[in-house]
Amino acid sequence: MEGGAQPTTNEAKEGHELHVQTLENKIRELPLKDRLKAIAIQHHYLQKEKLDKECDEKIHALQKQYDIKSLPIYAEQQSLINGQRAVSAEEQELFKDFFSEAELQEALQIAQKTEPIDNYWGTVLTNCDNLSHVFGEKDKDILKFLTSIVLETSADTEVFTLRFTFKDNEYFKNKELSKKFIIEEGKDFPTSTVGTVIEWNEGKDVTVKIVEKKQKNKKTGASRVIKKKETQQSFFNFFKNSEDKDEGEEEGKAGNIDEDYEIGKTIAEEVIPYSLEYFLGINPDDEDYEDVDEDEDDEDDEDEEDDDDEGDDKKKKSQRKKSGDSKKSDKDKKGKAEKPDCKQQ
């Protein structure tokens, strides 16, 4: 995902439908004898698509199975992060790889203490480049009070919930904020979302700003100043229900759901499973970039002047070793398994 610009689920579906329509239109343009053969070839093409879909469904079911198996692992990590328990004997086995004999005894004594890691989840979230586009100016201060992020899901449904627990803070009264994604059977994207209504303390709502606007009476010429609330960028907009977003039209609501779903999937599939990497500042996206020679970069700039529409794409491609969808590639180096896909895009 490049700066949060990865295609949404709806966009991907629409893209596939457009591809099929383009294929059929191209077939219709062929000379009759070639058109007949192309239509026959399309028969087998559709069979292959059917196999691709079947393969993807089986892979998804298997992935879901292992996602459920991973939940206890996340719970054990969370108990260490929050200082709910001491480091276990099994976990201490790795100490010898990090400490000398002289340091080991002191490390074992400290390991018996139950202390939380300060600002663990706030650091994790703000270090995730794929979420950088959602944060506002004040979010980082609030996220210092975040103590846990928990994923709730089950094997027999695509519905999932993210729960965020906070310490007492000056910004809002809630102890917990949650976001639930409702995915109907047979669909692969949410139709609605349910979030927590945040009980903001007076003057602390970071999702809106108060602006003053001057109005003039057309008849009398008298003027007045009114105050209006305007939505501003903040991670905490994520917790709004899909129906509560500003856009009233169906298209606007669908866009909000898609955007929230991408954020939710990033947290569920990247942030929670690989939180240690983000806490340490090891961002997987960094591996997608390579150094670019300045002269080569200048050439790209010249190309952009000739053709602005194509230039942006060329520059992005020249600076990235892989496509925007490949942020999980090379994860075998870090012990991660990329989710396979039966069909090349």
Tens-place pLDDT, residues 85-101: 999 999 999 999 999 99
* Angstrom distance (rounded) from CA 242 to CA 191: 9
Q: Say if residue 329's pLDDT is above 50.
A: no
For residue 252, give the H/E element and its range.
helix 250-266
What is the reported pLDDT for 331? 42
Cα separation values, 133 from 215, 233, 237, Å: 34, 9, 12
* Angstrom distance (rounded) from CA 200 to CA 211: 18
- Give the percent of the chain with pLDDT over 70: 75
Paired tokens of 184: 């109907």
Domain ranges of the chain: 117-199+235-287
User: Would the pTM count as exceeding 0.75?
Assistant: no
Count of CA atoms in the C-beta half-sphere (13 A) of 285: 18
**How crowded is residue 259: how many other Cβ atoms within 10 Å of its Cβ?**
17
72 class by beta-carbon count within 10 Å (0-12 exposed, 13-18 middle, 19+ buried): exposed
Provide the pLDDT confidence category of residue 71 given band limits of 50, 70 and 90. Answer: very high
223 DSSP β-pair partners:
216
Topology adopted by domain 117-199+235-287: Arylsulfatase, C-terminal domain (3.30.1120)
pLDDT digits (tens, 9 = 90+) for 281-321: 997 655 555 656 656 555 555 555 555 444 444 333 333 33
* Angstrom distance (rounded) from CA 71 to CA 65: 11
For residue 57, give the H/E element and its range.
helix 32-81
Paired tokens of 202: 């007076």
Contact of 158 with 176, CB cutoff 8 Å = no
Cα separation values, 71 from 51, 64, 135, Å: 31, 11, 27
Q: Which of 235, 35, 28 is nearest to 140 (CA)?
A: 235
pLDDT digits (tens, 9 = 90+) for 157-169: 889 999 999 999 9
Contact of 176 with 196, CB cutoff 8 Å = yes
Q: Which of 237, 274, 282, 276 is nearest to 257 (CA)?
A: 237
- Give the percent of the chain with pLDDT over 90: 58
What is the reported pLDDT for 74? 98
For residue 209, give the H/E element and its range.
strand 208-216
What is the reported pLDDT for 300? 56
pLDDT digits (tens, 9 = 90+) for 297-307: 555 555 555 55
**How crowded is residue 216: how many other Cβ atoms within 10 Å of its Cβ?**
9
What is the reported pLDDT for 314? 38
DSSP class of residue 164?
E
